[in-house]
Structure 1
Amino acid sequence: MSGPRPVVPGFHPDPSVVRVGDTYWMVHSSFEYAPGVPLYRSADLVSWEQAGHVLARPSQLDVSAAPGSGGITAPTIRFHDGRFWMVTTNLADGGWQTLVSAEDPLGEWSEPVRMPEVRGIDPDLAWDDDGTLLVSHAGFGAGGPAGLVQQAVDPATGAVLTARRRLWQGTGGRFPEGPHLYRVGDLWYLLIAEGGTERGHAVTTARGPSPSGPWEPCPHNPLLTHRGVESPVQNTGHADLVQRSDGSWAVVFHGVRPRGTSPEFHVLGRETFAAEVEWADGWPRLGEWLSPPGGAVAVEEDLGGPAWVAPRRFPGELLSRVEGGRRLTAADPDPASEDLAFVGRRQEHLHARYRAAVRVDGVGGLTVRIDARHHLDVEVAGDRVRAVAQVGPLRSVLGEAAAGPEAVLEIRTEPATGHFSSTTLGPDVVVAGVVGPGGFTELGRLDGRYLSTEVAGGMTGRLGGVWCARGSLVVRSFAYAGADDPQELP
């Protein structure tokens, strides 16, 4: 697929970025997965590495009651008065906003300060000239969304200091959200998302003499949108501006890479892209997109590494070290439960292969999933290995073979075939099987649209990993290979 590449691929939506010195730091939404709020760093806004998670301890994060795509949404990261600050919404525990800080983002972040009176999502952090912390957000009321609002907050206690005041509501698009405030010269700029996070997504901006307005809309709005545009990247929005040390500006935002027949299907979730920003007549204008080089990735993974997460639990609650690998223990004896033990990592490429060498004492194996009700499993149980598809309430065995408790399991995503006008053309095909002395043996395949956001719904993307429904399994090795061009896969 041609077109710009994401700077942080895979399920990394709602980016927020800050520069301190020569280093850029960026955070993303994590929803029901723990640890929460993945943290990335970069020297150039193009090449990023994961530095860990901001909400890395159970005392900071409780998503045990989060449904699929519930939990942690739309963080903001800022640097003020010698400290890094991160605020986000936890929709799963009743405390609304979560504010933490750290002098060193690579160290431990503070215990959370909660803001139960700041009801809404997408909180922003900005400090007025007198040092007052202003939290702008998409407010919720008794009747639902209340538009973009702002409150002064005590960062030490989370108590609100002022009543809500309404901000600029955008250019008329649905769901004005994702506000970010910036002081540029003598003016304040308000950047927001509107139009919904699907095909109508857009970024618009306004400016005013104070952080509460009054607001003058940019005459060239939207700053960014791909609605109605022929592009391999769609749903662009939810942006954050950052200034380089040389005075130039850039913007990060999320988008999706849909494929297949109409309405097209995206499987990786919302990924983070970046572009240059140029200023003209006192307004930001979108410049050239920043795109990292392509190529294949092939890595051996440690299940305890920074990329690994689990739904509603921390991986450490499910994993233990044993001789020759890591043991994953079932969390619930009910195979139909949404709380099956699962640990995984994001699929970061349009085409990928997952391979795991396991010993199963019970029921478990390898899986690629978009949520608990949409996944393709390679299941080892007793002396059989099966490819099993779960699509909503329907669970179907696609194929099976004899196997012992020791097995090498593999799931591949392969290019879909068919005419663009045919309903048979999905985004890809997901193939499950086993690896033996003679190579890979396919057990079953599934149209990739059944593991897409357009079918499953929600706000996340595909993850691949290991699962256990009963007993335990020992993972002796786990490998991921990915490429946007399938010809580049090893």
Structure 2
Amino acid sequence: MNLPNPLIPGFNPDPSIVKVGGDYYLATSTFEYLPGIPVYHSTDLVDWTRIGHVVDREGQLDSREVPTLGGAWAPTIRFHNGLFYVAVTDAMARGTLVFTATDPTGPWSDGLVIEGAIGIDQDLAWDEDGTAYMTYSGLDTVTGNINEHGGILQVRVDLEAGKALEEPRSVWSGTGLMFPEAPHLYRRGDYWYLMIAEGGTERGHSVSIARGTSPAGPFEGNPANPILSARSTDRPIQNTGHGDLVETPDGGWAMVLLGMRPKGMTRAFSALGRETFITPVTWEDGWPVVEPVRLNPRPGGGGFEDDFADAELDGGWIAVRRFPGAFASTEKDPGRLTLTSDGTSLDDARPAFLGRRQRYQVETISALVDAGSSESGTGTRTGTRTGTESGNGAGGLAVRYDETHHYSIETNGTTVTARARISSIEQSWTRAAPAGPLELRIETRQPEGGAGLSHLSSDTIALQAVINGEAVTLAELDGRYLSAETAASFTGRVSGVFASRGTVAFDWFRSSGREPS
């Protein structure tokens, strides 16, 4: 099979996959973003479509106050006796949850808390008599004891009552590398296989596997462990781990997994964070042999356009710790998107920010932004009052990693301001702008080749406004500060629109991208 890599680009970490008949379903982590846990569908493992989200309404996750790094961690998607299951950690919030649905497009259940199984990266498997086993990594993100790690643990669970049926027992926890996590339990032939990630989710990430004759063990480790790792190699895809096995349409096997594509002269900065990749697997002497993960981008790049003509927002839009409908509407001013700020900014935990995962390492986003005119108090669209209502709005475009790492460009109707927030450091650049709607752009540019300090970064980010028909660059910023290694917040770049004051209207939004040349 000619498998594309990345398989699902951009912020799509911790993939889990299940095959049901001729269909494949894949879910990934979303942390503090909502809607949460996207579900993707494919029939060939090549072309994927997002068909919905597990978390699409209030109450399924306790997201409102969850700290950065918390939220939906590492879902496992499985199918058993006509029902789809997603086991997941609501980290630093509700804890271990199991969601169910008869249709993977949803609706999914409210999420059943599993008592007595405190950990992360929960897996579900069933033996021949229907007993459910939950295997997980013993990191406590609920009671505050997060500095201790209990290795890989397992319990039998009652998935109707929501409780463990026994005290957690320790099972095989790898070869001794740090942070054993991401367990998945499979039955193949005469053996049960326990596959885990270890080595940490950074450059030392790896996959190891063991087998035994019972789902509860004991398990014997593969002498060839780790069966997958990119550490200390020159491969363009690093941090490979957190894998899940699946049968391919041609009767073979593959592994979906997370990885990162670091850039710069020392390959030190990964702008898009952890993405979903795939690699072939063969079996020798009863053990899986995994091929190195090879870079194979889809040709031609791609793009997205939204003119906000539909009453419902496209499902690719996500927001931070609240659902988009809390502040975004395409019905208040039909044919436009309006965002209403509640006084929060991009520095706050719940900004009026509506974003999309950045999917390409070279990408441009743009939007036509109407913040109203502070002089006239009205908008200027076709000479009528607009959804800006008051005329003292401010908003624009932003690229965000978290509340302390973001670049933005905004207009208030008479001026345009570019801002950079990097941890506790902030800088801004302002100039006058014509009244009325203004086109804003953010360009992500690939770094130049060569050696020296100017070539260390992952990319350059230019913040622009189109004034009198010309693109004016207010700031050109180093992209390394919006990377996984610098921000360290588990997600990836999310680019989109925001309002920092009042109500702001957007006539359209566009993005286009490609891989570096």
TM-score range relative to shorter protein: over 0.9
Equivalent residue for 2:287? Answer: 283
Cα shift at 1:188 = 0.1
1:226–1:236 CA contact under 8 A, matched in 2 = yes
Q: Does 1:189 align with 2:193?
A: yes
Equivalent residue for 1:315? Answer: 324
- Superposed, 1:56-95 pairs within 5 Å as 56-93=56-93, 95=94
Equivalent residue for 2:107? Answer: 108
Which secondary structure does the structure 2 equivalent of 1:431 belong to? strand
For 1:423 and 1:67, how far apart are their aligned partners in 2? 35
Paired residues in the alignment total 483
The Cα offsets for residues 78-106 of structure 1, whole Å up to 9 and x where unpaired, read as 0100111111000142x211111111111
Cα shift at 1:164 = 0.6
TM-score (norm 1): 0.95
Equivalent residue for 1:135? Answer: 134
Cα shift at 1:381 = 2.2
User: Which sections of structure 1, spanning at least 5 residues, go unmatched?
Assistant: none
* Cα 1:4–1:298 shift into 2, 3 Å: closer
1:47–1:292 CA contact under 8 A, matched in 2 = no
* Cα 1:276–1:315 shift into 2, 3 Å: same
Equivalent residue for 1:48? Answer: 48
Cα shift at 1:28 = 0.3
Cα shift at 1:263 = 5.9
Equivalent residue for 1:479? Answer: 510
For 1:341 and 1:413, how far apart are their aligned partners in 2? 23
Cα shift at 1:57 = 1.4
Cα shift at 1:117 = 2.4
2:394 is matched by which residue type in structure 1? V
Q: Does 1:409 align with 2:440?
A: yes
The Cα offsets for residues 293-340 of structure 1, whole Å up to 9 and x where unpaired, read as 321212203672111110100111111122231111113356743322
The Cα offsets for residues 461-482 of structure 1, whole Å up to 9 and x where unpaired, read as 0010111111011111000101
Equivalent residue for 2:315, pick from 306, 313, 331: 306
Cα shift at 1:288 = 6.8
For 1:387 and 1:485, how far apart are their aligned partners in 2? 25
1:260–1:420 CA contact under 8 A, matched in 2 = no
The Cα offsets for residues 168-211 of structure 1, whole Å up to 9 and x where unpaired, read as 01011100000000000111000000000000000000000111
For 2:515 and 2:259, how far apart are their aligned partners in 1? 16
For 1:333 and 1:119, how far apart are their aligned partners in 2? 34
Equivalent residue for 2:149? Answer: 145
For 1:86 and 1:420, how far apart are their aligned partners in 2? 46
1:267–1:452 CA contact under 8 A, matched in 2 = yes
Equivalent residue for 1:426? Answer: 457
Cα shift at 1:437 = 4.6
* Cα 1:436–1:232 shift into 2, 3 Å: same
For 2:29 and 2:346, how far apart are their aligned partners in 1? 28
- Superposed, 1:17-416 pairs within 5 Å as 17-93=17-93, 95-140=94-139, 142=145, 144-244=148-248, 246-262=250-266, 264-287=268-291, 291=296, 293-301=298-306, 304-321=313-330, 322-333=333-344, 336-360=347-371, 361=391, 362-416=393-447
Which secondary structure does the structure 1 equivalent of 2:486 belong to? helix
For 2:79 and 2:347, how far apart are their aligned partners in 1? 45
For 1:209 and 1:130, how far apart are their aligned partners in 2? 15
Which secondary structure does the structure 1 equivalent of 2:426 belong to? strand
Which secondary structure does the structure 1 equivalent of 2:502 belong to? strand
Equivalent residue for 2:380? Answer: none
RMSD: 1.9
The Cα offsets for residues 356-409 of structure 1, whole Å up to 9 and x where unpaired, read as 111114221110111111111111124100111111122211353323241111
User: Which sections of structure 2, spanning at least 5 residues, go unmatched?
Assistant: 372-390
Compare the two structures and name the one with the higher strand fraction.
Answer: 1
1:65–1:92 CA contact under 8 A, matched in 2 = no
Deviates more, 1:454-463 or 1:191-200: 454-463
* Cα 1:302–1:216 shift into 2, 3 Å: farther
2:444–2:459 CA contact under 8 A, matched in 1 = yes
Cα shift at 1:422 = 2.6
Cα shift at 1:8 = 0.3
1:256–1:266 CA contact under 8 A, matched in 2 = yes
For 2:213 and 2:347, how far apart are their aligned partners in 1? 56
Identity fraction in percent: 43
Cα shift at 1:289 = 5.0
The Cα offsets for residues 59-93 of structure 1, whole Å up to 9 and x where unpaired, read as 32231112222111000000100111111000142
Deviates more, 1:255-264 or 1:203-212: 255-264
* Cα 1:65–1:333 shift into 2, 3 Å: closer
For 1:58 and 1:292, how far apart are their aligned partners in 2? 36
Equivalent residue for 2:378? Answer: none
2:487 is matched by which residue type in structure 1? A
Cα shift at 1:4 = 6.8
For 2:429 and 2:261, how far apart are their aligned partners in 1? 28
Deviates more, 1:217-226 or 1:242-251: 242-251
1:398–1:445 CA contact under 8 A, matched in 2 = no
For 2:478 and 2:193, how far apart are their aligned partners in 1? 45
2:434–2:467 CA contact under 8 A, matched in 1 = no
For 1:240 and 1:24, how far apart are their aligned partners in 2? 13
Which secondary structure does the structure 2 equivalent of 1:316 belong to? helix
Equivalent residue for 1:13? Answer: 13
* Cα 1:445–1:16 shift into 2, 3 Å: same
2:422–2:481 CA contact under 8 A, matched in 1 = yes
2:86–2:98 CA contact under 8 A, matched in 1 = yes
Cα shift at 1:421 = 4.2
TM-score (norm 2): 0.90
* Cα 1:83–1:292 shift into 2, 3 Å: farther
